[in-house]
Structure 1
């Protein structure tokens, strides 16, 4: 009999500061009284009510460190979380404010690095290797595998063992962070900054634009300055050489000894005609520059602490500064300069990349402080995913800059000098050999045949039973077709569903920010435009579960144009929703489509024959072959005897499914069910497999044999019976 899964206890990491009552650390009181309290009257009430007796809870404090950590920070700030006490919840008072806790105080706080929470209350669920490592660290006293975290995609550019390519190491970021830290001490000493500015203006003609005007338009020296305008003085349209010199002189004036960077990849620049963050004095409201300093200070504090009071303070300061005439979304660029690993720039190229490649929209340029924080939280959570296109804000900004369809060449000139635009950085090649190295159990020759067929047919669909890695392989085939993993903006993933429409996928009317209906391009037309803008670069539309929608009406008239023989401007057609009466569209030859199709899905739409004719179909099968054995041995250090035993059991189950008259081969289970992710650390493969059987395979079998649950349970039990 397969054991039922017990209701899992939850793991909570909580702060110990109150925002609306006492700003002091409450840890000592919590421990003495055996409680934890939510210090807010109107926040987190439902979350606190969900805490249950028996849940594990830890008091945390978050901050950043540069020195005194057990690894080389290379001058970068590292996110740190101290665990000060752990315990178990014994009672929930049900008011959203208070729980009783049996605390276990620690003699000394234990420091945890990199993977830290961004809110006062952080519920950490087991599932990913990072969360499980944190749970074991906090509650089981295990040591953190710092090397594994350092070399994860989210942090490897700063702290990893392998040196990144020169264009991806973002060597400018420590200097910018250090300059911002030093600048904060001048918040109440602005006269010294103005004196330094006047001194620098004698040596840098391109600083003469920082001159105020009186009510008659007569030039006069500035009598105040904000930190973002100071940073903007070397983040605008001037040459790299002048930027380096000016940044270095500002650093010397502020008492820094760190040399300035000579490369400025990924840094969004201000327009030379709009480089100030405040108005001339006659148009400047009292308190505008103070508000910018407050936003600057609040941002630095938020980058060092995730407590709610810092988030509230930041959101309020952000809204006030953003309301200053001429600031708006430009404020986000200033935040990115001062803490590039913590804040998202919302310049035009980054917004375009967020919308078209990362599918984050919602008029980001108009986002208020709370919405901006939500965007940060969403992206930081996604950065931990190894499959996500980017893993940090600098990488996002850099990728947006390299985006072949979103990149713009500025015509700004500064003091007669043309602006130096960084050349497009060379990309790392990616081929079918790399697909195999990544953990594909299909041979290189078979993969090469699939690519050749795709290049010829233009559109293919990977079909197969669940767990055969269709989406995983589709994305890597796209990398191989493009020739690199770096041009990730050339890939757009879309998930079809029963309610998917032509208006969602191609073009349709949508309400705009002014409430008026506007014609908006869907993801397919966006990729058509991107492919047309960069004809030398292959572009890919990846459609997951393509058969769960109704593809013929979703594609509409473009169904004709995706055919390989119709990829020409001569075949252009009018759209159902044209922007002009004479507008026509064709699908360029460098736009490829790859779809995935789960053959075991009982809710499949019937695939139209005309649609099928335009696609090549590639069938994938469970692949527990010799390549799988070798991968499991080398990647997860599993003994051959265990692998052979589990493979035999799994193949026996698949034979039963294949021979069942109500099921068939399309319902067999793929190798993903018995293959841990490459990035996951598996201490015991047998224990991992037992967990998969309980939580994934057994529920699937119960769905297969829903009229005969005893057979499903018996088959699941056979997989683990006597396994050790």
Structure 2
């Protein structure tokens, strides 16, 4: 009789009936009972999905479970009613199969995502012997550029900072305050906004005032280029330059030869011909040598340029004789091959650049031609690209590139009205990861009853407000309260943060005040265990 009673009450939607309690032996056997309800209901009132343990969280995001009135049976019916109302054209006979397949697709996708992350963790550990504290750190190392997207308050920026600290410290800590000064310098941070542009991010002309009060413009690197230059800065090692020592000895020898006879006659041209009667001179404090009876003069500055691999004079000229003197200094006076102080030796430490609210700026305008360098496949490609101001560089042939040791994290809200500025060319160069409101509540360890109040609010935003999960509210809003707000008059979180945000959600919408009032009731509702 218990089975018959619960079937009859279900068909009549009498969920206040006492048969929907644990006293009914079939109440806790929803699998067979819901199937019978599907068969005997005059219309498609039930979709036949058993809302058991692993499914309760999934379907509960849409319709919360009311343990006191109807339990999973009422939840099953309300899910069907809500979907049928939303999509009246949907054939009810297929609804059960559609929802069952949808559920499995979403659950399997989540499992697949977790499997991918676990595989990346294992792969990175094997390659680098580095064990990171955050699971997303391994994904960033692999992808080079990632963007965390999700509802407001889901802790995307906080997570980005955790990952940055994790990576620059090689898995020692996730807390930026625990980093040393050098590690902190290897984390960059900017926040995009509508006025942010190429000159702020890459490089541009900036006004400067000289000591004489004259205003001019000077090329200055932007936040991103400065960070990249820091990541590419070469480590200095001692160079080799003993030109002064060799020149002094040579100059004295030529001077002494003049005193003793006709001049210095040991110098040979590049073709092996002798250069006779070499004499010394000094003009304007600069020493030099010249062959007697000629107008060929080779001074210290010109010869030092040749020694360093530069033209002897700025306008160019015949440097063969100057090169012959350098060869002579090397063979007879111990001149060593020139070696610059700063040798090519790239930094190997990891650098992380965070772009908060990345979709609030006009992406294509801010990055300009740099979108090519952003591509993970072109990381470390020193061929690079010319920037818009390349002709003003000290070396006009210098190209921009992003080295292998730089990783980029962006954060964005999908509901932001400026999301359309993120064009497809840029989207292809980033890996997008969603941070849900539910995941943020777990990560921030909200108290159980606060977490439940947050879940009720987010469910109401979807079921009553008719919005998507992108509009749900994250745990950052709730992290400062230890107990749920139960009194409308004593609810600062609701009045100062949540309600104003919800008003913006429904601004200009028909019956917005009615929706807000219903959502408010759900927020302040107290559920008994």
Query: TM-score, normalised to structure 2's length?
Result: 0.46
Higher relative contact order (CA 8 A, sep 6+): 2
Which of 1 and 2 has greater Rg?
A: 2
Query: TM-score, normalised to structure 1's length?
Result: 0.34
